[in-house]
Amino acid sequence: MSAAPAYLVQSGVFLAAAVVAVPLFKRLGFGAVLGYLIAGIVIGPSALGLVRDPDRVLDFAEFGVVLLLFLIGLELEPARAWALRRPIFGLGGLQVAGSTALAFGGALAFGVDWREALIIGMGLAMSSTALGLASLEERGLRDTPGGEASFAVLLFQDLAVIPVFLIAALVAPGHHARISAGAVLPALGAIVAIVVIGRTLLRPVMRAVARTGLRELFVALALLIVIGVSIAMQAVGLSMALGTFLAGVLLADSEYRHELQLDIEPFKGLLLGLFFIAVGMTVDLRLVANQPGLVFGLAALVVAIKFGLLYGLARGAGQVPRDAGLFAVALSQVGEFAFVIYGIGESQKNFSARSTDILNAVVAVTMLATPLLFVATDRFLRRRLAPGKNEPIDERKPVIVAGFGRFGQILVRVLNARGVETTVIDRDPDQIEVMREFGWRCYYGDATRLDVLRQAGIDEARLFVLAIDDPVAAIKVARLLRERWPALPIVARARSRTEAYAFRELGIVSVRETFHSSLEAAAESLMHLGMARQAAHQVVREFERYDRKMLERSFAVRDDRKALLGLVEQGRLDLEELLSNEKLQREAELREADGRPHGVADLKPGGEGGGKAAA
């Protein structure tokens, strides 16, 4: 009987290590990322030696980072991505320049040659895209101000790839290369090609593949897009992750966006886990054991300096302490790109193999520190709550409300006034402190986590209200609730039609948060322009009725952009005809003569979100 192929054996080792380590570390409260890293250390060449060549695994597993950036791009419409240009180039540029300068100066102070010091500084300036973003996503913090700033800076670091390589080549001993247009023009050409192809060819191709009805073919196309862009970007010396992010942004407003997300997500999760295992395998335990003071001391110094610089930059950019701290923790480590930079430095004789080994060990230790820093940050935020008030959730109330901002507060006040008891959870400690000062009982917790929901009494609840301000997190919670508690009634806050569609797909009643206030404002505006009160409110009522009907019709064609645009244009014409009809004026005058009640506030109960259709 022949032995199993080596790749199958190694795959079994990776999966077994993940299955054992990750649940254990999650249960201990350290998160999945640290579990993957420790699993890699244990099976790596300097421990059990079950895997001997971590570099080969790391090269393959880096594709998980590529998929992660593609999915993030799919969530960002071009306009929103463009709005990030200032933090990308401003905050990102200051972070890279500041970190490089501090590390360069520190290395010079220790007597290091200036060439080696410069390459060391450029490597230490880089942070881990995979580690930072994965840790933020695991805690549902990527869409917070601190999470968005972290993402912007990581994008700039990807943009800095070519300049760093050019500088490293320029300072090599005996090398007198000049920076030429030949290194920059292909990169610009590749970016332009991705934009043009993404805008002209990709959607017709996806449409043709979708018409086959073969799910596996669409999965193959999704992977082909990512792999093709990665190959093109690597060929011109740019970051693969940067290219796939750009491709994702170009497809963010595509009717196939959700399908792409569903197809790519499983591959991203597996490959990211493999990436963290591979990083753990690069830790040289023998070197760490022989010189623990040097390795851990340098790692602690690097993390402390980067944390201080990042925190200062974030506060200077106007972020509150909580978001600035989150930003600093997410980027305080040295990233996987440093392994490449130091490998180049060694190959160009800028420093020795021993220096490279020490630097790589320091990089790995800083990456191991990040999950621990996130755990410490979580506990610090909980301790910030008033002593004795950060108690575990032990209530069993009929209604659970997730999110206690302006929307949630009004809803809870109405329910409480009617004698309906609620359990309120929110993940913003600053908001919780303010609410408790005013006598409201509110618990710290993230509604995307199963353990928090169970503590809040989800199994006994009669109603769940989704009042979270973050659309991505709200839809994530909605899907979790529908999967685990399908019979539980849910009322959700929607910020836009897009969210209303997402909730409608899940069979959830949603309420557009500004809909009724906008109708009130429209009625007041018409009256200020000379329209009679009854006529103004009649116009608003007709608009509301028509808008609900249009929402239902547009839901049916939401994935067909051409049909949706046609429906919107026709709806605009129909609405103009409807609201310009003189019968509205006559009906309003008759109602006023009869003395019947009127006004937006007098709409029948159920109003927004009533019935089966989400509004």
Amino acid identity of residue 199, one-letter, is: R
**Same domain, yes or no: 46 and 182:** yes
**Same domain, yes or no: 284 and 417:** no
pLDDT tens, residue by residue, 382-438: 565 544 444 567 678 899 999 888 788 888 888 888 888 899 988 777 677 777 777
Task: Tell me if the pTM is above 0.85.
Answer: no
pLDDT tens, residue by residue, 207-232: 888 888 788 888 888 888 888 888 88
Give the CB-side neighbour count of residue 581, counting CA atoms within 13 A: 15
**What letter would DSSP give residue 444?**
E
Match 């989800």 to its residue by tokens. Answer: 458
Give the CB-side neighbour count of residue 489, counting CA atoms within 13 A: 6
**Same domain, yes or no: 103 and 181:** yes
- Whether the Cβ atoms of residue 499 and residue 409 lie closer than 8 Å to each other: no
**What letter would DSSP give residue 342?**
H
Choose the weakest-confidence range: 386-390, 460-464, 563-567. Answer: 386-390
State the CB neighbour count (10 A cutoff) for residue 514.
12
Task: Please report which confidence band the pLDDT of residue 517 belongs to, taking 50, 70 and 90 as the band edges.
Answer: confident
Give the domain-ending residue among 345, 379, 413: 379
Give the residue among 520, 522, 465 at the shortest CA–CA distance from 494.
Answer: 465
pLDDT the model gives residue 94: 93
Is residue 147 included in any domain, yes or no? yes
pLDDT tens, residue by residue, 161-201: 778 877 877 776 655 444 444 556 777 888 888 888 888 88
Is residue 335 included in any domain, yes or no? yes
**What letter would DSSP give residue 85?**
H
pLDDT the model gives residue 289: 87
* Residue 475, domain CATH: 3.40.50.720
* N-term to C-term CA, the chain: 64
Is residue 281 included in any domain, yes or no? yes
The burial class, CB within 10 Å (0-12 / 13-18 / 19+), for 289 is exposed
Task: Please report which confidence band the pLDDT of residue 602 belongs to, taking 50, 70 and 90 as the band edges.
Answer: very low
Question: Tokens at residue 310, please?
Answer: 């990042």
**Same domain, yes or no: 460 and 570:** no
What sign does the dihedral 165-168-173-178 (CA atoms) show?
positive
Q: Chain centroid to CA 498: how far?
A: 18
* Residue 19, domain CATH: 1.20.1530.20
Q: Give dist(CA 306, CA 300) in Å, integer.
A: 10
Is residue 388 included in any domain, yes or no? no
Phi-psi region of 258 (alpha: psi -120 to 50; beta: other; left: phi over 0): alpha
**Same domain, yes or no: 483 and 529:** no
**Same domain, yes or no: 374 and 483:** no
Domain that holds residue 451: 393-513
**Same domain, yes or no: 299 and 406:** no
**Same domain, yes or no: 348 and 245:** yes
**Same domain, yes or no: 496 and 571:** no
**Same domain, yes or no: 412 and 283:** no
Give the domain-ending residue among 463, 482, 513: 513
pLDDT tens, residue by residue, 359-377: 888 998 998 898 889 888 8
Give the residue among 212, 245, 204 at the shortest CA–CA distance from 78.
Answer: 245
**Share of residues in the chain with pLDDT > 70 (%):** 83
Question: Tokens at residue 328, please?
Answer: 């600093």
pLDDT the model gives residue 130: 82
Q: CB under 8 Å to 58, separation ≥6 — which residues? A: 275, 278, 279, 281, 282, 336, 339
Q: CB under 8 Å to 346, separation ≥6 — which residues? A: 352, 353, 355, 356
Phi, psi of 370 (to 5 degrees): -60, -50
Number of independent structural domains in the chain: 3
Question: Tokens at residue 32, please?
Answer: 């999945």
pLDDT the model gives residue 99: 94
**Same domain, yes or no: 357 and 336:** yes
Q: Give dist(CA 367, CA 378) in Å, integer.
A: 18
Give the domain-ending residue among 379, 405, 437: 379
Q: Give dist(CA 615, CA 509) in Å, integer.
A: 8
Is residue 385 included in any domain, yes or no? no
**Same domain, yes or no: 250 and 340:** yes
